[in-house]
């Protein structure tokens, strides 16, 4: 379980974020705070791994907390969720190591996507004893899903179509079936499945069985 705290000066917004978090598997909310002082006190208890931080707190700016968090709680990751869109505040947040910056109002899709990406980033690090460039590029998002035109492709795999499939997968947060992919890319289910399985073979996606209303298992694919 990833232990998450919410630092938000509006308890109603904090409750919304908590409900969003409850929709994500492997997440545990360990506390909610209204002020910067309360936030630091909670972090001192040592139970927080990820902090969802607002900038406009009741007693101080969240950006003023960031250097303190980086100094005293380097093991805590921070995602900014705020209405602040001023360039200076965004730059300050990024320079102090926030892993994402979400501007309110927050949509459920954007929220869940951010947390799922965070989970995958942690899993990449936890499952490796040595870190190579591929893993680093995956964590930082550097051209991970860009298909090189000169990359050797197996028979039946076209680079442009492959890139189209990857681009579609990146927009679907809860995964996609071969049938759904076929509809989106304008191809048969068999063709879509061939591309999806190839992406899995490259280590860039996963698949799992889910049961529909009639109980027939369906293979759903998710980009990593």
Residues 6+ apart with CB under 8 A from 76: 43, 48, 49, 50, 51, 69
Residue-wise pLDDT for 67-100, tens only, equals 999 999 999 999 999 999 999 999 999 999 999 9
Domain count, the chain: 2
How many other CB atoms sit within 10 Å of the CB of residue 105? 9
Shared domain for 95 and 174, answered yes or no, is no
Which residue, chain included where needed, has tokens 């409850």? 22
What domain range includes position 117? 2-126
Shared domain for 119 and 167, answered yes or no, is no
What's the first-to-final CA gap in the chain, in angstroms? 19
Residue-wise pLDDT for 142-188, tens only, equals 654 454 444 567 888 888 888 889 989 988 878 899 999 999 988 99
Which among 102, 98, 124, 122 is positioned nearest to 113, based on CA atoms?
102
Q: In angstroms, rounded to a whole number, what is the distance separating the alpha carbons of residues 197 and 48?
A: 37
58 half-sphere exposure, CB direction, 13 A CA radius: 11
Global confidence as pTM: 0.63
Residue 37 located in a structural domain: yes
CATH code for the domain of 174: 1.10.10.10
């Amino acid at each position: 379980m990833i232990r998450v705290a919410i630092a938000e000066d509006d308890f109603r917004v904090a409750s919304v974020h908590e409900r969003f978090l409850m929709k994500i598997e492997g997440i545990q909310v360990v506390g909610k705070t209204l002020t910067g002082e309360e936030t630091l006190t909670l972090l001192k208890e040592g139970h927080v791994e990820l902090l969802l931080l607002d900038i406009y707190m009741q007693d101080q700016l969240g950006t003023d907390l960031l250097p303190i968090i980086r100094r005293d709680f380097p093991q805590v990751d921070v995602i900014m969720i705020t209405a602040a869109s001023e360039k200076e505040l965004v730059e300050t947040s990024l320079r102090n190591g926030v892993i994402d910056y979400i501007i309110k109002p927050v949509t459920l899709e954007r929220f869940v996507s951010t947390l799922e990406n965070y989970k995958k980033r942690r899993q990449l690090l936890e499952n490796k004893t040595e870190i190579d460039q591929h893993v680093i590029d995956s964590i930082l998002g550097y051209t991970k899903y860009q298909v090189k035109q000169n990359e050797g492709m197996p028979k039946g795999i076209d680079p442009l179509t492959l890139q189209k499939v990857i681009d579609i997968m990146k927009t679907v947060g809860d995964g996609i079936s071969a049938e759904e992919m076929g509809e989106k890319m304008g191809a048969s289910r068999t063709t879509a499945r061939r591309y999806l399985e190839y992406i899995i073979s490259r280590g860039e996606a996963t698949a799992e069985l889910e049961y529909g209303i009639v109980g027939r298992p369906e293979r759903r694919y998710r980009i990593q």
